[in-house]
Structure 1
Amino acid sequence: MNGLISTAGLGVSNKSVGLTRHTKHRHVPSPVTPNFVAPQIQPSLSFKPIALAAAIARTATTRENAPAALLYGLQLSALIELETLLQDGTTFALEPYFEFLADTAGSQLAAKVGAGIAHLYMDALGYAWRANAACLSSALDPHADFIYDGGNASGHGVILAEAHGSFAKDTTAAKVANAAKRKYVKQVKPYIATPSLFGKVIHGYSIAFGSKPTAAGSFLAVSETRISKPRKTAAAPMKVSQATTRLQGTSAPMILATHRSNFLLMGIPEITNWIDWLSSRDTTIPERDAVVFLRLQYAGRTYLAAPPWLWRSDSPPWWIEDIFYRPDWRRVARRARLTSSRHHPGLDFGWFAIEEKAGVEFLNALSSAIGGGERQVPGSMDLPTFEPTGFGLNGGEPLLRGEAEEAYQYALFRDGLALLGDAFRGQPSGVVVWSPDGGAVLG
């Protein structure tokens, strides 16, 4: 496993998907938690193909109990399908040979793309942290896909989100809207105001996306919990007992679930092993080896990524000097990566990495939770978040901030995870070494 994926066939054109239907559903009480205000729904979602690719990979790996090797395979297959079947251009469209897929394969791809679109929309709304919603009910009961925290939900509870995708020949705006409403009623509404491992569910969304495989264009519908307007006469302030006061920051299980997926995508299994150990008392304590991260300057920020000398297990490690002091380091790094049996020479690759401040603060929090092997997991963690790059609502904000679009193709999510387009445009600037006991230290 590694942190690179092929992005050769994704294209670079900004795509815009208009909101074709927005429906609100009543709930009592409203709001579920006093003072919660849902973010305003915007009329369109804009994104770069690389952002959709990253979102699909993230949703494919948000399964806390699944083996890392399985999740890696799922996200890799989803991205290969996307780069093969997504047309370039400003309008969402599938390649004509989509029709040669079997019905089940087409439905599965639509579900993956629908999940990716839903994740882009939720992240753009301000919700930064995510986990799988399987904890809400048994496998026999229908439930929504994901639970979110952050943004407007911070300090109030968690948000439930259901995703749906359809690439049927008879897809219409009305059918997509009906799917969003139907799935809200069946898979979101029953769980509003219920407790979960990550906090009380205070709001919900059902996001449906559809496109005809024979025509360019798409449909996006959102159903969400209605929040009643406050009465003109102010009600007496609610007394909240100390036992029900929500902790500052985000619940530690939510943070751990998010970063399990993140570090899996980055190709750093040592971190996912420690997260699994913290989450389950049945697992064996991992090896206490140090983990080396490469510091990479890219598009005006510093990121942490799996270092190139870990990309190939059949060759000896590279010395740090081999990277930092060779004028042709990009060519050498490309050659080492592209001779791997997983890919063919000549492809362009995206590199999963995490913004340095976000990565270092989480790694230090992880060391504190490990507690020398005593498992001292706090109730919550307070970590930085960022404005997303590469996607946004309403098309009003630039998809890339601070750098020329033609210079960099990348996507940055609110929790700090990024998919860097041509990672070799970046400049290495040292290493960060993390140890379970000592935390993250600049090497």
Structure 2
Amino acid sequence: MTIVATAPARALWRAEKTVTRSGHHLRPHTPSPVSAGFVAPPVPTHIAFRPEALAASMARALTLRHAPDAMLERWARMQLLEVEYLVQDGAAFALAPEVTALADAERSGFAGRVGAGVTDLLMNTLGYTWRDNAVCLSASLEPHADFIYGGGAVSAHGVVLAEAHGSFAQAVTDGRMRCESSAKYRRQVKPHIGSVCPHGKAVHGYSVAFGSHPTTHDTFLHVTETKITNSRKKAAPPAAAARGLAPVATSLALASHRSNFLLMGASRIVAWIDWLRNGGPPPADDLVAPFVTVQQGGQRFWVALEALLPFVRPWTRPDEGPFWAWEDFERLLEARRIGLDNVFAMEEWAANSFLSTLSAMIDGGREQMPATLELPVIALSGLFTDPERPGHDDGARYPVAQFRDGLALLGRLPRIERPGSRIWSPRQGFG
């Protein structure tokens, strides 16, 4: 499910967190750089993010796993609840007292998921856009990094690796987090630098260790990164407002958007992406995917109707086509006791562009898929690198956490008198 029914939000959901980078460690590699001309973006000294952004990143990381879709959806939904109840209010990251009620294994699991979410937030601030699980690096039991990222500075060079670690143990210290970051880089990142995966060559790597002491609330963020020794070019920081078309390996775009549309609850689109990636019998052509469009913060977003009202079909006006009245939404949602909070959606340009491209690939067949696609890159929202900027986000009425690939978590759907609609057809696109 895409919508989460929760108790009234606590103050946490209005607090923006700032995490200071505790250490940045460079590890040499030969050759350097692995791809001529690649320059890694500078790692920021701080990252600031709304709690919704952290929960969304945790869900993004979870849904890259190879597991049944229904299981992934339930895991993703739980991240919103876990962050709400297990992280304290305030500008700094601190665990809530309730975390001590968790068994050791449960606390370790939660810490690992937060570590993956913080890593995803950091990779977005560095300008990387597209992502996948790094299991494709090795078919053996050899340890490998958690994630693969593409886009941004690594476009036209290949991909970068990212290993994530999180710890909420009593033994968390600055020195321990530094050791974890360095050790995991040596074991799980460095051996795969220079290797080739289905998405391209791994030309750079990161190991991110995030830890917070459950009682003292001391919090640490250590980043170990591949050192580039032969570059004469100075790295430029990624533009916060970057927006435009960019090339991406088709396989990496499909992996990213499979996760995105799964989070949105658009299972029919996920099924077609799986067919393009894995083959087998194609889904039925008449399984269209309807969306409603909403405007928030000066942008338009698409929300999957399949997730909002999975058992309801639209009614049709002969002169206008399918139409859903907002009163029908409210009546049916109230009957099901589901609120309109915390809804995954996609920015309109990103959704329209990818789904039109997806239809073209479906119509052309698996054998004729292009190696690369040109897809939109969207400006970040709810995630920042400058905690001193003016106008700190104090929790707008309708907050939005938005990622570079277009996925967004809407804090609440605004009421509109007559929602717009779009219907995607697998082979005809939007007609």
In the alignment, the residues of structure 2 paired with residue 262 and residue 434 of structure 1 have an alpha-carbon distance, to the nearest angstrom, of 16
After superposing the two structures, state which structure 1 stretch, 139-148 or 254-263, moved more: 139-148
Letter in 2 for 1:176: M
Q: 2:386 aligns with which of 391, 394, 418?
A: 394
What's the CA shift for 1:427? 7.0
Contact 2:266 2:307 in 1 (8 A): no
Where in structure 2 are the equivalents of 1:6-17 lying within 5 Å? 6=6, 8-9=9-10, 10-17=12-19
In the alignment, the residues of structure 2 paired with residue 303 and residue 160 of structure 1 have an alpha-carbon distance, to the nearest angstrom, of 30
**SS of the counterpart of 1:384?**
strand
Letter in 2 for 1:105: E
Classify 1:97/1:111 alpha carbon distance in 2 versus 1 (closer, same or farther; 3 Å): same
In the alignment, the residues of structure 1 paired with residue 311 and residue 348 of structure 2 have an alpha-carbon distance, to the nearest angstrom, of 29
In the alignment, the residues of structure 2 paired with residue 334 and residue 83 of structure 1 have an alpha-carbon distance, to the nearest angstrom, of 25
Contact 1:353 1:418 in 2 (8 A): yes
Residue 349 in 1 paired to residue 371 in 2? no
In the alignment, the residues of structure 1 paired with residue 152 and residue 33 of structure 2 have an alpha-carbon distance, to the nearest angstrom, of 16
Classify 1:335/1:263 alpha carbon distance in 2 versus 1 (closer, same or farther; 3 Å): same
Identity of aligned residues (%): 42
1:276 is matched with which residue? 274
Where in structure 2 are the equivalents of 1:155-194 lying within 5 Å? 155-194=156-195
Q: 2:404 aligns with which of 411, 414, 418?
A: 414
Where in structure 2 are the equivalents of 1:57-96 lying within 5 Å? 57-63=59-65, 65-96=66-97
1:237 is matched with which residue? none
Classify 1:143/1:364 alpha carbon distance in 2 versus 1 (closer, same or farther; 3 Å): same
Contact 1:369 1:375 in 2 (8 A): no
What's the CA shift for 1:349? 1.4
Classify 1:277/1:21 alpha carbon distance in 2 versus 1 (closer, same or farther; 3 Å): same
2:421 is matched with which residue? 431
Classify 1:69/1:400 alpha carbon distance in 2 versus 1 (closer, same or farther; 3 Å): farther
1:251 is matched with which residue? 249
TM-score between both structures, scaled by the size of structure 1 = 0.87
1:196 is matched with which residue? 197
In the alignment, the residues of structure 2 paired with residue 256 and residue 219 of structure 1 have an alpha-carbon distance, to the nearest angstrom, of 34
Aligned length: 411
**SS of the counterpart of 2:38?**
coil
Unmatched 5+ stretches in structure 2: 234-245, 317-321
Per-residue displacement from partner, 1:267-303 (whole Å, max 9, x unpaired)?
100000000000112x221011222111111110111
After superposing the two structures, state which structure 1 stretch, 415-424 or 283-292, moved more: 283-292
**SS of the counterpart of 1:119?**
helix
Once superposed, what is the RMSD of the aligned Cα atoms?
2.4
TM-score between both structures, scaled by the size of structure 2 = 0.89
In the alignment, the residues of structure 2 paired with residue 179 and residue 355 of structure 1 have an alpha-carbon distance, to the nearest angstrom, of 37
Where in structure 2 are the equivalents of 1:11-50 lying within 5 Å? 11-50=13-52
Letter in 2 for 1:114: G
Classify 1:339/1:214 alpha carbon distance in 2 versus 1 (closer, same or farther; 3 Å): farther
What's the CA shift for 1:8? 2.9
Per-residue displacement from partner, 1:29-71 (whole Å, max 9, x unpaired)?
10100110000111111000010011011101012x4221121
Letter in 2 for 1:430: G
After superposing the two structures, state which structure 1 stretch, 372-381 or 315-324, moved more: 315-324
Contact 1:128 1:148 in 2 (8 A): yes
In the alignment, the residues of structure 2 paired with residue 426 and residue 32 of structure 1 have an alpha-carbon distance, to the nearest angstrom, of 52
What's the CA shift for 1:395? 2.4
Contact 2:3 2:340 in 1 (8 A): no
In the alignment, the residues of structure 1 paired with residue 330 and residue 400 of structure 2 have an alpha-carbon distance, to the nearest angstrom, of 18
Letter in 1 for 2:99: F
Letter in 1 for 2:53: A
In the alignment, the residues of structure 1 paired with residue 70 and residue 323 of structure 2 have an alpha-carbon distance, to the nearest angstrom, of 32
Where in structure 2 are the equivalents of 1:371-386 lying within 5 Å? 371=363, 373=365, 375-386=367-378
1:52 is matched with which residue? 54
Unmatched 5+ stretches in structure 1: 233-247
Classify 1:5/1:419 alpha carbon distance in 2 versus 1 (closer, same or farther; 3 Å): farther
In the alignment, the residues of structure 2 paired with residue 400 and residue 368 of structure 1 have an alpha-carbon distance, to the nearest angstrom, of 42
In the alignment, the residues of structure 1 paired with residue 390 and residue 208 of structure 2 have an alpha-carbon distance, to the nearest angstrom, of 24
Per-residue displacement from partner, 1:287-329 (whole Å, max 9, x unpaired)?
112221111111101111112x7534455656765525xxxx4
2:117 is matched with which residue? 116
Classify 1:150/1:316 alpha carbon distance in 2 versus 1 (closer, same or farther; 3 Å): closer
